[in-house]
Structure 1
Amino acid sequence: MQVWLAADPQRLPADAATAWQQAHAAGVAVSVVAGMAASHDADWPAGTAAIVDGLLGIGLNRPADGTMAWWIGQINRSALPVFALDIPSGLFVDTGAGAPAVRAQRTLTFIAAKPGLLTLDGRDCAGEVDIAPIGLDYPPDETPHCLVNGPALFSAALPRRRHASNKGTHGSLAVIGGNLGMTGAPRLGARAAQFLGAGKVHIGFLAQPAPLFDPLHPELMLHAVDALALAAMSALVIGPGMGTDANAHKQFARLLQAAPLPLVLDADALNLLAADPALAGALAASGAACVMTPHPLEAARLMGVPVADVQRDRPAAAAALAAQWQAVVVLKGSGTVIAAPDGSPCTLNPTGNAALASAGTGDVLAGMLGALLAQGMAPLAAAQAAVWIHGRAADALVAQGTGPAGVTASELYAPARTVFNQLLAGARA
């Protein structure tokens, strides 16, 4: 093993200087290689098996440049396995932003998980993450910046399945959208809702005439959107394939004026809200419990900012949206962020993978979320559960050799059902 110091030992920060002195006192041979940064490549020793990255830590507050950027580039081009200490060098600890940043196969982080390891570029840069407590606990008087999503946060709220129940016990959900040329989107959401336990699932189509039935899932009830019996519903999903034309606007406004049912607002429902303050006012006046599921571009439209501003600090953007719209916000992307309007710590989701980067997976998530709302879960717990299950289903597909390339949205239904029932069994235990 060789230890290299890529800096001037006389100009080290206090903590690094202490570590330098302790290493010398322990007899560790440290080679100063600060002068290696030049036009040529790093002179990795012959037979080097792996690199341990400890260049930069969690105090980084600006993009790596100069010598540090050169070293990051050399590490990434080395074709060697890379293991990062605490956080990959160049990655911002709170946001997951970082260019350039080391891309490691595994990261050993200390004391607690870091938000930047779980969202934006963090998952690609950190690889597998292990936590080393190093004998220290998180200060009990400090509120965590974010929480890691998992069953501990939502399993107690999962809807129980009793023998003495019927289809009405488990709620009625309507998925509303499906304008001309986009009728597949609400079907994807409605089918997903069935697989996550909704008792009855309806689709309200904007395209006319509405399809008569779903040949793959004849259990679904299909209607023109005007014919939906809203008073019989337990929750609504609005937006998949809805479009933004005049009829979509009219129907959305009508739905917001109906009884204040729990809502999932997705896709074009979010675009309509962003474009019309009157719709935003109608949503606020409805008093409906609401979950919004924007991807970064939709979030940027809702906030009136560039997409780069959203991605620069995803937890902050999700929290700002939740406060602005008084809704639970699911900011989709690598390391989906879930934020509540009460200002409580946001949740970062660790499940899922690149298999979800295909058309329709967002519709599936919206349907799953709607199913949990229809079964009586509160918006925050429903969002946490749906996002975790959705990602876990994708992980299961990849683990069995299906994907990440080529996975289709409808392939998520069955593994999601399996994960959901495993959670229910654990909740009963």
Structure 2
Amino acid sequence: MSPLAPAPLPPCPPLLPGFPLYRAAGLRALEAAARGQPLMERAGLAAADLAADLITGPRSEGPILILAGPGNNGGDAYVAARHLQARFFPVHLVALGDPSQAPADARAARQAFLDAGGSELTAIPEHAPQTHWALIIDGLFGIGLQRPLTGAYASAVVAANHLAKTQGCPLLALDCPSGLDGDTGRVLGPAIQASHTLAFIAHKPGLLTLDGPDHSGILHLAPLELDAPRLVPPEGHSIGREALAAHLLPRLRNSHKGSFGSAGILGGARGMTGAALLAGRAALLLGTGRVFVGLADDSLGAPTFDPLQAELMLRPADSLCEAPLTALAIGPGLGQSPQARLWLARSLATDLPLVLDADALNLLAADPTLAQALATREAASLLTPHPAEAARLLGCEVAAVQADRIAAAQALSQQFAAWVALKGAGTVVAAPDGRWWINTSGNPGQAAAGQGDILTGITAALLAQGWEAGTALLGAVHLHGTAADYLAGTGIGPAGLTASETAVAARTVFNAWSQPPALSA
């Protein structure tokens, strides 16, 4: 290969299946449905198996530090400790809390560990900084924690995080990192920053959104021999291929540009035309037959064509709806002028599937008449707010939105009878009927100007090509994140990843997903 030739790109990330998600109440129902089965024994054994796999490298001869709390999470830790000790791993178990107050199964697990020759410590050894731990296991608290950790628990969490960081050893959380709300992803005071989390029975939404991804590390699942969806219907799901497969089909050879719809992008007031152009470029790159961009900028200096994407058809915003559109997006760079309000009112009155973002959402939040027009639309409506925009629409503080992102997305969806993607770490997608999904793709490179415009353009493209509203939003959110991950895998990002690069990568990933599977010989 010539030294000037570009390095080959890695294969595109595959479109993986989604998985069910359960909050604490649903998990309690699953445990009740499986009453009588040795779930704690299975959980501890699974934890020991994973722990053994994680202990590698030059420090693999060091001891394992296990933190066992006062509840069933601590019981899981005791079972794991017993199995690891039986495999001749040196185990130092720190027991926190009053064992006499523990649930019956946890007390039995503790006794079995002691009967097998195990011993307990009441605190992390003072010589710990000089001990090279092979692994730290967090078994303090699981999904039931609803208050900040204090006292000895908080001290143990801080110490465990410090040891894992300074010594470079894995930190494995059992079921949910202690101090993290498994339902919402909120950090409740000091919280474990795990490098790995082993979820039991099913994944928890709090591991996937808000602060969850930064505290959970690599996720693993031990179903404990239960078929969770068969026992209790899932409350939510991650976004996966089963939600998108019906639309991810190869294009027919006998096609023309009219076969793939016409998307309209309305926005781009003076000084913000780039936002509308970015959305239009993304819609074009995702395969829309024709893309019309209606610019709100009516100054003499307004662009009449896009020099980087001459295929885009630019026109004044007033004439956009005269184009033969199959989907419309409004908001990128729209501004909040009286004229912008009029354009939004006209857009809401169309019978087109409609994506609303950015200033379109801010106008809605400030005008009850527009909000009512949205809530009573017959055509599909899709909203893509970030947390601050969601807070304006709900009339609350941003902290309230972030305190329960699933509930906030559901509230918006029901209030406006629309599909909603609440953007952020672990974007939450909510349907008007109450269903919800959490996206697992994406990285911090998407925290940059213009990335929201790219998502709007991708969504408009899928709608224009005939995708159903919910499937289009799920597909756009997951594709947008996967494109960013694909680029990061090549060294382009996360730092410095641009919106324009993400749009091009989204085209590559989308085409890879839409190809038929290779035939075996």
TM-score (normalizing by structure 1):
0.94
Q: Within the alignment, does 1:55 sit opposite 2:144 as a pair?
A: no
Q: 2:488 aligns with which of 398, 413, 420?
A: 398
How far apart, CA to CA, are the structure 1 residues paired with 2:127 and 2:402? 33
Is 1:159–1:375's contact at 8 Å kept on the other side of the alignment? no
Name the residue aligned to 2:397.
306
Name the residue aligned to 2:326.
234
Is 1:61–1:92's contact at 8 Å kept on the other side of the alignment? yes
**1:17-416 to 2 correspondences below 5 Å:** 17-27=107-117, 29-34=118-123, 43=128, 46-78=131-163, 79=165, 80=167, 81=169, 82-98=171-187, 99-138=189-228, 140-158=230-248, 160-209=250-299, 210-230=302-322, 232-257=324-349, 259-344=350-435, 346-416=436-506
Is 2:285–2:507's contact at 8 Å kept on the other side of the alignment? yes
- 181-190 or 244-253, which deviates more: 244-253
Give, as a single letter, the amino acid of the residue that structure 2 aligns with 1:397: L
Where in structure 2 are there 5+ consecutive unaligned residues?
A: 1-89
Q: 1:334 to 1:42 in 2, by over 3 A?
A: farther
Give the secondary structure class of the aligned counterpart of 2:221. Answer: strand
Is 2:249–2:516's contact at 8 Å kept on the other side of the alignment? no
In percent, how many aligned pairs have the same letter? Answer: 49
Tell which structure's C-alpha radius of gyration is larger: 2
Is 2:426–2:440's contact at 8 Å kept on the other side of the alignment? yes
How far apart, CA to CA, are the structure 2 residues paired with 1:226 and 1:417? 30
Provide Cα deviations, 1:269-322, integer angstroms capped at 9, x if missing partner.
Answer: 001001100111222343220110000011111111111111111111111111
Give, as a single letter, the amino acid of the residue that structure 2 aligns with 1:276: D
How far apart, CA to CA, are the structure 1 residues paired with 2:430 and 2:105? 35
Name the residue aligned to 2:64.
none
Give the secondary structure class of the aligned counterpart of 1:161. Answer: coil
Is 2:376–2:417's contact at 8 Å kept on the other side of the alignment? no
- 221-230 or 330-339, which deviates more: 221-230
- What is the aligned length? 422
Give the C-alpha shift of residue 48 in structure 1. 1.4
How far apart, CA to CA, are the structure 2 residues paired with 1:242 and 1:116? 34
How far apart, CA to CA, are the structure 1 residues paired with 2:344 and 2:249? 29
Is 2:292–2:323's contact at 8 Å kept on the other side of the alignment? no
Give, as a single letter, the amino acid of the residue that structure 1 aligns with 2:334: M
TM-score (normalizing by structure 2):
0.78
Give the C-alpha shift of residue 403 in structure 1. 1.2
Is 2:186–2:206's contact at 8 Å kept on the other side of the alignment? yes
Give, as a single letter, the amino acid of the residue that structure 1 aligns with 2:182: V
How far apart, CA to CA, are the structure 2 residues paired with 1:289 and 1:256? 10
Give, as a single letter, the amino acid of the residue that structure 2 aligns with 1:226: D
Give the C-alpha shift of residue 236 in structure 1. 0.5
Provide Cα deviations, 1:65-121, integer angstroms capped at 9, x if missing partner.
Answer: 222122111122222431111111111111111132111111111121111110000
Q: 1:270 to 1:30 in 2, by over 3 A?
A: farther
Give the secondary structure class of the aligned counterpart of 2:237. Answer: strand
Give, as a single letter, the amino acid of the residue that structure 1 aligns with 2:174: L
Q: 1:56 to 1:382 in 2, by over 3 A?
A: same
Give the secondary structure class of the aligned counterpart of 2:128. Answer: coil
How far apart, CA to CA, are the structure 2 residues paired with 1:208 and 1:15? 71
Q: Within the alignment, does 1:10 sit opposite 2:100 as a pair?
A: yes
Q: 1:241 to 1:427 in 2, by over 3 A?
A: farther
How far apart, CA to CA, are the structure 1 residues paired with 2:466 and 2:174? 43
Coordinate RMSD, CA, aligned? 1.9
Give the C-alpha shift of residue 141 in structure 1. 4.5
Give the secondary structure class of the aligned counterpart of 1:140. Answer: helix
